Structures are given as C-alpha cells and as structure tokens.
Structure 1
Amino acid sequence: MAFDGITIANIRKELDEALTGGRVYKIAQPEPDELLLTIKNNGTQQRVTLSASASLPLIYLTDKNKTSPMTAPNFCMLLRKHIQNGKIISISQPGMERIINFEIEHLDEMGDVCRKLLIVELMGKHSNIIFCNDSGIIIDSIKHISGLVSSVREVLPGKEYFIPHTQDKLNPLTASEEDFMDRVFAGSMPCFKALYSGFTGLSPAIAHEICYRAGGDADLSTAALDEAGRKALYRAFSEMMGDVRSGDFSPCIVYENGVPAEYAALRLTSYPEAQRKDYASISALLEDYYAEKNTITRIRQRSSDLRRIVSTALERNIKKYDLQLKQMRDTEKKDKYRIYGELLNTYGYGVEPGAKSMTALNYYTNEDIVIPLDPMLTAGENAKKYFDKYNKLKRTFEALSQLTLETKSEIDHLESVSNALDIAQKEEDLVQIKEELIESGYIRRKGGSKKVKVTSRPFHYVSSDGYDIYVGKNNYQNDELTFRFASGNDWWFHAKGMPGSHVVVKSRGDELPDSTFEDAARLAAHYSRGRGQEKVEIDYTEKKNVKKPGGGKPGFVVYYTNYSMMIDSDISALKQIE
C-alpha cells in the first residue's frame, strides 16, 4: 500500500506546519465515513479532509469544499459540542503507524480547560476516526466496532483506546544496525519483501527503492547477499530513515504509459526522471493522484455497459467465424468428388455390377486411385452422386468465402471498438463510441432521441522536434483525421495487424526528422492493442497512400506502399496538449 507510514509522516509534518496553534472553526461530515475540518490559523483558513473509507482512507489539506447533509450526523454533532473553537495543541504520529493524533484544547461546560484526542487511523478496511478524552477513553467513533466484528479490539464509547499490534514489526526510525541485520536476514526471502514485512510503515514501493539505492536486485534472496551487500542495504535504509526523521520529504508520482502507477513521500529514483512528477506538497500529490485514479475508475464504470455489448457481440462472432472456417475446411474435399465423377464417366464402362470400388488412373497426377462405389448404383449413377456432392460443396465454398470475410471484418471492427473503450479518458469520449454501436446495429436508439452533440476531440501531442501529432480516440475520429484533416504529404501511422488508433503527423511540407517518426510510432503503439509490449511493429506511410475501400467500416483503410519499424509503447517523454 502506497499510503504507508512514511507518507503519513510527511502528511503529519505538513499538517503540523499549517494547523498547529489554529482553532477549529467548522466541522462537517459530508460522507458517513468522512470529516471536513476548517481551521483558522495565523489569519488564514485551511481545510483538512479526514476519510476513514474502507476503500480509500485519506487525510490531506484541500481548497475544495463539500456539500454537507441538511441534518448533521450524531458524530459530527458530538465533535461540534466538544471541540468547535478548540485549539490544536499538537499533531503527532505514534511510531511509524498509519495513525495521526490531533490533540485539541477546549473549554468544557464549566469553563475549565481540558484536552481531547481526535485519532485518525488509516488502515485500509480497518480505518476509523476515534474521539477520546485525555485519559484515553473512547467518547465515540465514526465507526463502531463491537466484539462480534473484531476479536482484537472493540471501538465503542466507554472502552479504552489502544493501538492493536497484530504484526511483529520494528519501528524503522529507532532500529539499530544490529536490529536491522537480525530482522532482514533472519530467513530467506526477496530483499524488498524482507524490508516491508520486517518494519512498520514501509510500502513495497519504498522497499524497492531502498534496494535500488543499495545497488542490488530487489527480488534477490536475502540469503544470497554477501557482507558488502548487507552493509549497502543497511546504509540505504539508514539514509532514507534519516530523511524521514529530519522531515526531508520529496513527494512524487510515477507514471507508466501516461497513467499514475505509484506514489511516495520520498523520491523514487528507481524510475526514470521522465516518468516522475515531483510535488512540493504531499496534499497536492494525493489530491491529483486520487482524482486521476477516480477518473479512470469512473470511466471504467460508465463504459461497462458498452464493454459488455461489445464483448458479447465479439464472442458470438468469433464462434461463428470458427464454425465457418471448419465448414470451409470440409469443402476442401469438393475437387476429390469432381475427379471421382470424371474418372467414373471415363472408365466406368468396365465396372462390374455390385462392385464396391474401382481402381483407375488419375490423369491429373498420373497415379492410380481407388474410388469407393455404392454397389446398389450403376457407374453412371455413382458418377452423378459424386458430381452432386461436388456442386453442393462448391456452392457452400462460394457462399462461405464471402461470409467469412464479412465475419472477420465484423470481428476486426468490434476489436477496434474495444480498443477505443480501453483508451477513453473522459465521459465525452464514450459518446462517439456509443453512436458507432447504434449505427452498427448493436444498440437500439431510443424512440425520438436524436444524435447527441460530440465534444470529444483527438489526442494532440507535440513531438520532440515541435511537430503536431494527432491520435484518433475511436473509429469515427480515425476516419476524420485520415480523410478530412490530414493532407497528402502528412504522415500516417498504425500498429501492424492489430486494433489501434490512426496517428497523423502534420509535416508542414518538411522532411520529418527521425525522432518525430519514432515519437509518432510510439503513440501508434501505445494507443493500440500492443501497448505494454516490449516492441510493437508499426506501419507508416504518407497519407496519400491510404485509401478507404467502398463500403468499409468506420476506421477501416487499405494501403499498399508503406515502411515499417519496431518500437516500444512508452510515451512518457511526449508532451500532450490539452
């Protein structure tokens, strides 16, 4: 989990600098498991989101407000009664646990100064926000956990609060070199796993980074490390924990193929710099990271109906195609039956009545051939029977030759639609895809409904040499780019033999540099079914060589003059224009 103890330490430092000494101005509970606190401090107003969501526990500073329910929940009302206008005395993190404690000073009903603790536990499905008095007795919590739910700890009013220690892990900030050696090298397991399973608050990403900084292989067994390797691993671990102790954080997000893949509160130098985006604030990082992740998740959810329609149609057409190919293979016997008929007409006069076979010279191969006969029929009748079989298979072959082409075309079309769904990034990108499925007959247009307005536009990138590159998001955009937007001397790219986007480079009449060809080819690889592969073969040619066959489906083209190259699908170095 990226939201580890080091990330919590970074957040605690940021919250401490922004909120300590401030007063709790507003308390809201916009979601059943989420609080939004507004803090006034040094003439400024800050908001902090505290979420105990089982799927996405978070805590970060934010500028955004949220709409609260008309009637505040009981937990929110309790906090307002006790700590509204209270002063934040301290913000702490016990050890390297995924816990943040807010110590708040306020006046009770008698006007006496007293202190309370607001404890935010960010532990996946066990996340909670717990309100305690200064003696550690729980006043209330945003989630009540009874003994029926957890055998480890009850979280109920009146119970004593304690941190459950269900795993035997060491605090990495206080571990000595001897502790490190005893814990990491006690058994035999991959180095990165020994690190994050032996110390509190280390995520697999940080464990990989420690191994990288030590100059070793993260997957190498701890038993295989020599003394120098062990010392190097400890030095890298010690230096990183020193950064945490001193508050020297460097938050960053790592992108893979343009999608946020990982984040950490310390710089992940194991990834290329082009794939990293550095942040000055961990709160800004968390807002961006989860906003992008939520967008991707939301698009997946919104496109689920379209995906189901496409996958069902694709499965049906693939089964039909396999059956047609089997029937085509069966028609391969047709010429054998024709030859049998011809030879029976030529040599059948010598066949005795009731014969079950006839041996004759096949004048096509100059070899003898044995022809099975129906003993109840004459030679002429057997010949007619074979010609009838031949003619039936011939008609079947002619019909199937066309049908298999049509079915294969339908499969290619559906696979291209599936690829378009995979690369859709916004809800408006789905509009054209749905329209294409309607016009193809896979979705019935609702009575009286008109075509919706299309606002989606092709991806726009700029090559390392400053040339504009455009990428179609779906088949309609592919046709638009290739046949209405591109001019004859612009260059056109497409992944060879697989579904993918049309990529057009506006040449401006120039002779393009090699690096621009490579940039466009990478985009064609990335926005195809081959993305993620080590190498993808890309066809490219001038646009004037690309033709649309009569009656061709959206996005389908032909070309007979082209070049090819093998390229990776990493586009992290390319600049996208919004």
Structure 2
Amino acid sequence: MALDGIVIANIRQELEQTLLGGRLYKIAQPETDELLFTIKTPKQQYRLVISANASLPLIYLSEENKPSPMTAPNFCMLLRKHLNNGRIISITQPGLERILDFEIEHLNDLGDLCRKHLIAEFMGKHSNIIFCDDKQNILDSIKHISSQTSSVREVLPGRTYFIPQTMHKKNPLQTNDAEFAEAVFTKPMPLSKAVYTGYTGISPAVAEEICYEASVSSEKPANCLEENEQLHLYHIFSDCMEQVKSGQFAPNIFYENGEPKEFSAIPMAMYADCTPFDSISALLRSFYSEKDKFTRIRQKSSDLRRIVSTALERSYKKLDIQEKQLKDTEKREKFRVYGELINTYGYNIPEGAKSFTALNYYTNEEISIPLDPMLTPSENAVKYFNRYNKLKRTFEADSKLIEETKAETQHLESIATALDIAVNEEDLVELKEELIQAGYIHRKGKGGKKEKVTSKPFHYISSDGFDMYVGKNNFQNDELTFKFANGNDWWFHAKKMPGSHVIVRTGGKELPDRTFEEAASLAAYYSKGRDQDKVEIDYVIKKEVKKPASAKPGFVVYYTNYSMMASTDISAIKQAD
C-alpha cells in the first residue's frame, strides 16, 4: 500500500500539531517490532503507535491501548531509561523520505539537559526504529542489522546513523524543470515508473495519478514524450509537490466495488469512489481495519475454497469423461439401421459374404454394410441390434449422469461465487453448512449440532426508495425467493452463470426504470461475472420463478423473462444499515 513520502509528510504535520511539546509519559513495546507511546500535552493525552513490521510498517495516533509483555524487552527498557518524561521538541522528515526523526529533550542522570533522536524508517522489509544521541551515534535499534545482513549499512550500537542513498533518487521538493527532464524523460521505461524511480517518496499510485491528470498514458515510454506532454507533466508534478510543501493534504480512501483499494494524502482524480477523512491517523486506522477484515475473511474461507475447488476439478474431469462416452454412442442408430436392412434384404446375401450393399429406405441412399462371414445373416442382424441396444443403454445412462454432474458443477460454482462475496465470518457458517449437507464436509462429532446462523442478506435502497435484497448464498437465495418475496415483487439473476438472487420489494407499486437498472447492477456484481464491465441479467415477476422438485439449493427455473445488460459498478447504490 501507499505509505509513501507524501503520506509520511501528512503524518508529520499531524503529529507536529498534536504532539509537539508533549512529554513521553509511558513507553511500551507490545510487539517485537512495535512501540506504543503515551504522550501528555497541555490539552490532552495521546497514544502513538510506531511499527517497523516488515510487511506492514505504520505510524498513527491510536485510540486503543495494547497489552504489553510482563517483562519489557531491552530496547524498551533503554528508551524508558533515557526518554521517560522527555519532551518532544521537533518532528522532522528529511526531504520526502519515508523517515520521521523525533528530537526529544530530557534530563540525564546528572540532571543535565540532553537531546536524543528516535528515528522511524518505513521502508518495507528494511523498516526500523533507531535510537541515536545528538551526534547521530546509534545507541540501539529495534532491529539489529549486521554487515552480514546488509552490505549497505550496519544498524548496531556504536555505529554512525546515516540514510543510505542506494537508489540515487532526487528530492521532489527541491526539483526544477531541467532536473525533472533529466530524472524522468531520459529513461526508456513506462512514464509512471520513470517518475517514481526518479524521485524519492513517490509511490506508483501517485505516479499514476500525475500521469492521469496530465492526460498522458502511464505506459508510454518516458523518453518518447512530445515537448508539450513533458511540459504539462512537469507542471502537474510541481503543483502536487507545492501542495505537499504547503501542507494542503486531503486524506482519502479509494474504493473499488466496496473494497478499500488504495489510500492517499492528496486527492486522486483517477478514482471515482472515495471517502475523505479529517486526519491521516483516522484514515490509517480505518483502512487497515477494513483491509484486515477482507484479508481475514479470505484466510478463514481458505479451507472451504480448497474443498470447493477440489470438488469442482473432480466434477469437471468427470463431466469431460461422460461427454466423451456420450459422443461414442452417436453411432448407435447406424447399427439399428444395419440390423433392420439385414433382416429386410438378408435372403439376397450369399453365404460367407463379408459385406453387402442395400438401399437405406430412411435416406433413399445405398449403403455398404460390413458382415462377419462366419455368421448367418440373421446372426449378423442380432449382433448389430445387440450393439445398438448396448449403446442405447449407455446413452440413456450417460445422459442422466451428465445432467446430474452439470447440476453438481453449477451448485459448486455457485458456492465458489458465494465465497467471493462473503464479507464476515457469519457468512461462512451457512456456506459450511451447505457443503456439509451436500456431503463435501463431514460434521464433526457424533450427532454434531448445526452451527447457529446469524448471517443476513445484503439490503440496499434504490435511488427511488425501493428495498432491494441480495442473497449471500444458496440458502439465502431460496429463503428470499420463496419465503420472503411476494408474488408481484421483481426477481433478478445473472443469465446462465452462478450468482445471487436479487429481490426488489414493490409494495404494489410500479418500479421506475432507474430501480430496474440498479437491481440489475446488484445481480451483475454479485455474480461470477463481477470482474466484467457488464453482465446480461434476466429479470421477471417473482411468481414466474419455480423450484423443481429435489433441486439443489438456489436452483430455480422460469419460462418467461426480460433481459438487460447491466453494469457491475454498484458504488452509487446506497446500502442500508
């Protein structure tokens, strides 16, 4: 994610406004790579979290406390010794680096006023929290980096602290048109990559946005731009950096179909669905809690996904074999005709003949029929009728098996789609129960009880005020369609693909066109085709929808319907609380 130099600059501004002059009241280390500071200012008390986690480095003002280990780690004890009751006198960011330097004033053991630096580096797997004296000598760090680990810089007590310039990137806050041209327009690579590799603190997302606002393709080679494109791009870049220098930040989370996609401290015109925040800390808390929710659900559903994908793979293979066997039965009618023609013209066949030619009275054409010279004509006819009857039985059996296998495959595909739209752990309970009832999972324990179901369908309100409900799984689809909906409500579903049943409650009123379109968009998004721009949707009055006897959950039939192409973008549709 884009915890880039611009976001760090926004964090620095927020921390400077809230924490400057504050005293370090408590210092804790709840995780091996995370610190939690309680800071008292004349106005109020704050909690500051600094994490050097390799996969998720973060810094933000927190509203929650975290439990700490009974015995504090050595790094935490060292910070307590030197910094407890210390006062924050400055918070700086070198250039637009992903680094924050906290300068803290404190009294030493002799009562003399001293200054120390706590430097937080947010650089992915190289993230660290480093404690230095006023002469930039490292006293300790939350992660020790030896020369065996890194040939660029050692982070060990006694070493001198410096920022490694491994990428030779330039400072975007101190650039000019000539330097920009040299840093970007000389590179034979995609334009957006040239921007973020040429300047420090610029994320790929911000580089994409700069290209978007300049109306230049981010994939265009940077060294192939025309003069007016170069000029326009530089002006957009300069305007962006001026916003950062003047502290004109606008924290936003950008969504794609309800899921948090990206965040930034500056506006991004290339995203349509965004939520603004008053503070960057509130943004980070919200973004990572939402992102964590989606990640956690995917992790929780991984076992179910594996079971479904394994069953689907087996079902596809079985269907392929059955269809090949069915294809082999296509010649059965030929054997029946051979038998009939031998019985009709057999008196003309000489003894020991290997074949004979006869008029096929079905097509009025002459055909040559192979014969077994060791058999009589009547025995040859019986042989062909036996082959016909065997293939006929195979055809009938395979046709039934193929129908069953297709129903099983459609059922599994619908469960796979339901797993994709699950938003919380409660949604997975019903899906697990469906797999248990279908025989793909064994219920644990003898006479194991069914888990309590608390999941409910999605509920949306159309722009015209009509209630729209979306089933999250096959059980909910059946419940919505056959128990909840009235006969004159409208029913929507993606055409010929797994997806949710969508019910629009009419209340006896005529539905406006806009509500039809919004309900169709919900059916498109909550279907297997959600990654497409548009999906064909069938819609019909609910009373026309029937459930065949012994059909699998969620399976229905209808013999008359309307159809429309619907967008999968549901960002403008209001979801009820």
User: Per the shorter chain, which TM-score range?
Assistant: over 0.9
In structure 2, what is the equivalent of residue 364 of structure 1? 362
Distance 1:314 1:270 in 2: 38
**Counterpart in the other structure of 2:286:** 288
Distance in 1, Cα, partners of 2:482 & 2:434: 18
Q: How far apart, in 2, do the equivalents of 1:340 and 1:262 lie? A: 70
SS at match of 1:130: strand
Name 2:522's counterpart in structure 1: 523
CA–CA distance in 2 between the matches of 1:512 and 1:220? 47
Within the alignment, does 1:47 sit opposite 2:47 as a pair? yes
Q: Equivalences for 1:21-420 in 2 at 5 Å?
A: 21-272=21-272, 275-420=273-418
Per-residue Cα deviation, 1:148-185 (whole angstroms, up to 9, x for no partner): 11111111111111111110211000011111112111
* 1:383 CA displacement: 1.0
Amino acid at match of 1:52: A
Aligned residue for 2:546, secondary structure, equals coil
1:565 aligns with 2:572: no
Letter aligned with residue 478 of structure 1: N
1:116 CA drift (Å): 1.0
- C-alpha deviation, 1:352, in angstroms: 2.3
Secondary structure in structure 1 of the residue aligned to 2:443: coil
Structure 2 Cα separation of the partners of residues 225 and 376 of structure 1: 84
Q: What's the CA shift string for 1:240-289, capped at 9, x where partnerless?
A: 100000000011111111111111110001222xx111112111111111
Cα deviation, residue 214, structure 1: 2.0
- For 1:26 and 1:530, how far apart are their aligned partners in 2? 52
Distance apart, 1:187 and its partner CA: 2.8
Q: SS in structure 1 opposite 2:531?
A: coil
Shift of 1:527: 0.5
TM-score by length of 1: 0.98
CA contact (8 A) 2:353 2:373 kept: yes
Structure 1 distance, partners of 2:266, 2:381, is 85
> In the aligned structure 1, how far is the partner of 2:376 from the partner of 2:165?
93
Give the deviation of 1:140 after TM superposition: 1.1
Q: Tell me, yes or no, if structure 1 residue 537 matches structure 2 residue 536.
A: yes
Q: Tell which deviates more after alignment, 351-360 or 411-420.
A: 351-360
Provide the TM-score with structure 2 as the length reference. Answer: 0.98
Shift of 1:295: 0.6
For residues 388-430 of structure 1, give each alpha carbon's deviation from its aligned partner in whole angstroms, at most 9, with x where no partner exists. 1100111111111111111100000000001111100100110
Q: Which amino acid aligns with 2:331?
A: K
Give, in whole Å, the separation in 1 of the partners of 2:76 and 2:498.
Answer: 52
- Listed one character per residue, the Cα deviations across residues 218-259 of structure 1 (whole Å, up to 9, x for unaligned) are 223334432222111111111110000000001111111111
TM-fit CA distance, 1:354? 2.4
C-alpha distance in 2 between matches for 1:161 and 1:188: 35
Q: What do residues 173-228 of structure 1 show as CA deviations (whole Å, max 9, x unaligned)?
A: 00111111121111333222221111111111111221222233322333443222
2:6 maps to what in 1?
Answer: 6
Structure 2 CA distance for aligned equivalents of residues 165 and 357 of structure 1 = 89
Shift of 1:492: 0.7
Question: Does the alignment pair 1:490 with 2:489?
Answer: yes
- Aligned with 1:173: secondary structure? helix
For 1:554 and 1:128, the matched residues in 2 are separated by 53
Distance 1:48 1:577 in 2: 35
Deviation at 1:328, TM superposition (A): 0.6
**Partners of 1:409 and 1:15 in 2: how far apart?**
59
Task: Describe the superposition over 1:529-568 as per-residue Cα deviations: whole angstroms up to 9, x where unpaired.
Answer: 0002021000001111111111011111111111100011
Deviations 1:92-118 (A, max 9, x none): 111111111111111111111111111
Mapped to 2, the partners of 1:398 and 1:230 lie a distance apart of 70
- Is 2:458–2:469's contact at 8 Å kept on the other side of the alignment? yes
Q: Matched residue of 2:79: which SS?
A: helix
1:550-561, aligned counterparts within 5 Å? 550-561=549-560
Deviates more, 1:535-544 or 1:214-223: 214-223
The 2-side partners of 1:118 and 1:350 are apart by 108
Measure the CA separation in 1 of the matches of 2:515 and 2:183. 51
Counterpart code for 2:502:
V
Distance 1:372 1:31 in 2: 83
Name the SS of the counterpart of 2:81 in structure 1.
Answer: helix
Paired residues of 2:185 and 2:225 also in contact (CA < 8 A): no
How far does the alpha carbon of each residue in 1:71-106 deviate from its partner, in whole angstroms, 9 at most, with x for none? 212211111111111101111111111111111111
Aligned partners of 2:196 and 2:203 also within 8 Å: yes
Distance 1:153 1:342 in 2: 91
Question: 2: distance between equivalents of 1:458 and 1:140?
Answer: 53
Shift of 1:66: 1.2
**SS at 1:295 equivalent:** helix
Partner AA of 2:449 in structure 1: K
Evaluate the alpha carbon distance shift between residue 306 and residue 148 of structure 1 in structure 2; reply closer, same or farther with a 3 A threshold: same
Distance in 1 (alpha carbons) for counterparts of 2:373 and 2:284: 85
2:381 and 2:139 map into 1 onto residues whose CA distance is: 98
Percent sequence identity over matched residues? 66
Deviations 1:324-380 (A, max 9, x none): 111111111110011111111111222222222111111111111111112221211
Structure 1 gap ranges (5+): none
Aligned residues of 2:58 and 2:122 also touching (Cα < 8 A): yes
C-alpha distance in structure 2 between counterparts of 1:323 and 1:570, whole Å:
39
| Shift of residue 528, structure 1, vs aligned partner | 0.4
User: SS at the partner of 1:318?
Assistant: helix
**Distance in 2 separating the partners of 1:569 and 1:127:** 39
3-state SS, counterpart of residue 154 of structure 2: coil
| Counterpart amino acid of residue 488 in structure 2 | N
Letter in 1 for 2:164: P
Mapped partners of 1:570, 1:178: distance in 2 = 43
Secondary structure of the 1:241 match is helix
CA distance in 1, matches of 2:565, 2:403: 29
- Measured in 1, the distance between the counterparts of 2:263 and 2:506 equals 38
Q: Partner amino acid for 1:316?
A: R
Question: Amino acid of the residue matched to residue 407 of structure 1?
Answer: T
Other structure's SS at 2:172 match: coil
| Structure-2 residue corresponding to 1:511 | 510
Q: Which amino acid aligns with 1:555?
A: G
Write the distance in 1 (CA, Å) between the matches of 2:5 and 2:125: 16
Measure, in 1, the Cα distance between the counterparts of 2:375 and 2:140.
97
Structure 2 counterpart of 1:178, one-letter code: A
SS at match of 1:473: coil
Query: Which residue of 1 is the match for residue 453 of structure 2?
Result: 454
Tell me the alpha carbon deviations over residues 499-538 of structure 1, each in whole angstroms, 9 at most, x when there is no partner.
Answer: 1000111111111111111111111011100002021000
Q: Is the 8 A contact 2:351 2:373 kept in 1?
A: yes
